[in-house]
Amino acid sequence: MTAPQETRLHRWTRWGPAAVRRLDTGVEAVVGDQTVELDVTHRGLIYEQTSRPLRLGFYACLEIGVLVRWNGEDVATIRHAEPRRLGLARRSRYDVVGDDRFVVPGMQLTERAIPPLLTLRADSGVLVSSRRWAEPLNIAVTEWSFVREDDVVPPRVRGGTRPEHVALWMAVRHA
């Protein structure tokens, strides 16, 4: 078991600061006092036979569903939306389903690869989204800066968005 890597992000935002930890079992994001963890441990036959978790990664686990924990409690699952769309320029959609205390009606993640954009939306509108103009800057800073290793420009967060939803967006973004 390796020590978790922690990254502190966006200290000066109205909803921040945020912390993202990469764990052996997935990714954990903390915004304020709310903690959201994505568990990407495969719970199939191999796990049962060896009693050792097999970590596949976020995208591989979307087939069976990525478990979402909120403050240590299993509350939701992220899985592919129908119809499934794949491609570099096309948007992939993922449904967030589960407990009504965490999941708001119509909650869905939308992701695009070039440029890498991630949006968390619900029936009430967009909750958290990447800034289209900022993603190339964030990538450049992350890849080529010797000083910083995290994003410079924070995501766009709608007023009234709950901290656990910002933490969910952060966890998926860093998964």
Asked if residue 2 is part of any domain, the answer here is no
Residue 82 pLDDT class (50, 70, 90 cuts): confident
Task: Decide: helix, strand or coil at residue 163.
Answer: helix
* Confidence category of residue 36, pLDDT binned at 50, 70, 90: very high
Q: What is the pLDDT of residues 47-69, one digit of tens each?
A: 554 555 555 567 777 777 889 99
Lowest mean pLDDT among 15-19, 42-46, 61-65, 66-70: 42-46
Domain that holds residue 138: 7-174
User: Residue 120: which of 87, 158, 154 has the closest Cα?
Assistant: 158
pLDDT above 60 for 160: yes
Does 39 reside within a domain?
yes
Judge whether 1 lies within some domain. Answer: no
Q: Residue 131: which residues within 8 A CB-CB, separation 6 or more?
A: 153, 155, 156
Q: If you average pLDDT over every residue of the chain, what do you get?
A: 82
Nearest to 120 by CA among 103, 99, 144, 133: 103
pLDDT at 25: 82
pTM of the model: 0.84
pLDDT digits (tens, 9 = 90+) for 92-144: 899 999 999 999 999 999 988 777 889 999 999 999 998 888 777 777 777 78
- Whether residue 114 lies inside any domain: the answer is yes
Backbone angles phi and psi of 10, in degrees to 5: 50, 60
Measure the CA–CA gap between 72 and 21, rounded to whole angstroms: 15
Q: Is residue 142 part of a domain?
A: yes
Identify the pLDDT of residue 161.
93
Number of domains in the chain: 1
